[in-house]
Each structure stands twice: as C-alpha cells, then as structure tokens.
Homo-oligomer: A and B are copies of this chain.
C-alpha cells in the first residue's frame, strides 16, 4: 500500500493529474488556473505538464466557462471547470440549470454531459463578501445534476476522479477551509463510491448528518459530547445529491435522534430536505424532532462575526441537548 500524507488541495491536484493522464479527453478550464495554478493552487503545475490546450485560462466570464464546457462535452471532451469562489458561480447559473442539467435528457441520452464544475465553497476563512457562500442547495434542487463534496484528502483524491469519470455532470464542492488539512492518501485502494455516505464516527445516541467543512466541526462536537456521556454518530454525506438515505435511515433506526448540520442558510436547503425525508422515513423510530444547525437566513456576514454565523461546536452541542431532552 502506497500512501502519502497530502493536503486536500494537493490531493485534488493529484486526482486531476491522474484523471488527465488516464484520459486525454479530460481538460481543465477556469480563471487563473494556468501559470498561477488557481487562487488555491489546486491546479498547480498542470498547465506546465499538460499544455495550454488542456489547461485553459479562460476569459473572466463564468457563463462562458460553463457554456464552453457544455460544447466541449458535446464534442466528447470531459471538461473540469473551476469557479474561483462560490459567490461567482451565479453568472453561470443559467448555463448550469438550462444546459448542463438538461442536455442529456433533451438529446434523448445522446449527449453525455460528462463535465465537472469545481467550486471552493463554504466559509470560515475570514474572507470578504461572496467568498464564503454555500450554493449547494441550488444545485441539489436542480434535477440532472449531482453534487459531491469531499471532506478529506483521501476522499478528495478519489472523488474528483470519480466525478470526472462519471457520465453525469457533477458539481464538486470543495470545503475551502479544509484545503490545507492533511491526511493519508492511498493511491491504490479507491475510496468508496461518492454516492455512499460514510459514518465517520459511530455512536448510539444521536445521528449527526453533515457534509463539507462541518464534518470536522461535528467530529469535534462528538468528542466533546463523549465527555458528557453522549455518543454521537457522525455521518459525512459525501454525495449531497443524491443523498444516501439507506445509510442515514439505518443510523436513525438505531439512535432515534437526528441533527443535520451545514453552513448553508436553512430555508429550502439540503439540510431541510434531509430533515423532512428522515422525518417521513423514520416516523416511528424518531424519539425527538429533527433539529437543524445551519447558517441563518441572512447573507453570509462580515468575517469578523462569521464564527457566530457558522455551526460551531457550541451550537451543535446545544442541538444535541435539545434532541436528548425529548422522551419517547
């Protein structure tokens, strides 16, 4: 077994490299991804090694980047778009909703929209406006798209390659606050498929459903809760759409209590959907209402108060208290 200790950013870089080596149709397009290697250096060195035709510094126009990727996919390429920050994906929203998500169906299955849109997402990095958003719910709501999010270097290395190999379009949400965290990456044993959620920590009292940057926060909360004698089961979705409900429901059957944690604003969100679906699936098993811990229904706030906006350990433990209060 060859493993290497890599940051998540580097693991994605290696995953991209692997995909490009394996398939000459894989190419990258985005802003500043060439010489600069992207503002997070995720594409560092790739233009040098694969050339300007396969690593394309695009004009500053996101609809153009995604719209061109659609055309490239129609021609059989497998473009990987980089959106520089979450808040800059909206100029491309029309192309994503009207073309990326629908060309496969519109063409009766002829066109494969085998493209990936990478988005560094979520907050917690002290950035200015538009650099800390959680747009995943917009994409989860959109039929035709898949939404994946890795939370550690090992998953990231494999999931980016899986997303690129997929014949479906994948919105690949990278929790940017975790880019610099290291983990062992095993390049021979593939991670489990992205569509399978993963129990990061087993526990019997409360099921904690989460994804993205919040996975780490939830694990910290679980550790703290253990001190109080409470066993949290932390599940990392990995695929935000579709959600692996069998894994989630099995956990809920066991615990009877659920909290859903994510940074996104709560209304009409992925978290709400999970709460609604598990409330329906596990009606008789639930011993307490499902509680959501999320951002608030406000624009992402100035960074000096983002700590109070984000789901943090205190808020998660508070939610644990609330679901534990209920008797069944």
- Which residues on A are within 8 Å of B, measured CB to CB? 87, 90-91, 93-94, 97-98, 101-102, 105-106, 129-130, 137-138, 140-144, 241, 265-273, 275-277, 279-281, 283, 288-292, 296-299, 326
13 contacts between A and B (CB under 8 A): A93-B94, A98-B130, A102-B299, A137-B268, A143-B267, A268-B272, A269-B273, A276-B276, A279-B290, A280-B292, A281-B289, A283-B288, A283-B326
State A58–B79 Cα separation when bound (angstroms): 35
**19 additional contacts (CB under 8 A) given A106-B129, A143-B297:** A87-B98, A90-B97, A93-B94, A102-B129, A105-B298, A137-B268, A138-B268, A141-B265, A141-B267, A144-B299, A267-B273, A268-B273, A272-B276, A272-B277, A275-B276, A276-B292, A280-B289, A283-B289, A283-B326
Q: Return the contact of A268 from the options B90, B94, B270 (Cβ within 8 A).
A: B270
A279: B residues at CB distance < 8 A: 275-276, 279, 289-290
- Indicate the member of A106, A269, A326 with the most B CB atoms within 10 Å: A269
Contact A143 B90 (CB under 8 A): no
In the complex, the chain B residue whose C-beta lies closest to that of A291 is B280
- Shortest beta-carbon distance from A144 to chain B in Å: 6
3 shortest interchain CB distances as A-B pairs: A90-B94, A275-B276, A279-B279
- Shortest beta-carbon distance from A86 to chain B in Å: 11
In the complex, the chain B residue whose C-beta lies closest to that of A94 is B90
A272: B residues at CB distance < 8 A: 268, 272-273, 276-277
State A143–B267 Cα separation when bound (angstroms): 8
A273: B residues at CB distance < 8 A: 266-269, 272-273, 276
State A141–B296 Cα separation when bound (angstroms): 11
The copy count of this chain in the complex is 2
A87: B residues at CB distance < 8 A: 98
- Shortest beta-carbon distance from A278 to chain B in Å: 9
A137: B residues at CB distance < 8 A: 141, 268
State A273–B276 Cα separation when bound (angstroms): 7
State A80–B328 Cα separation when bound (angstroms): 51
Contact B140 A268 (CB under 8 A): yes
State A279–B326 Cα separation when bound (angstroms): 14
Q: Given that A91-B94, A130-B98, A276-B272 are known contacts, is A138 also in contact with B140, CB under 8 Å in the complex?
A: no
State A241–B266 Cα separation when bound (angstroms): 12
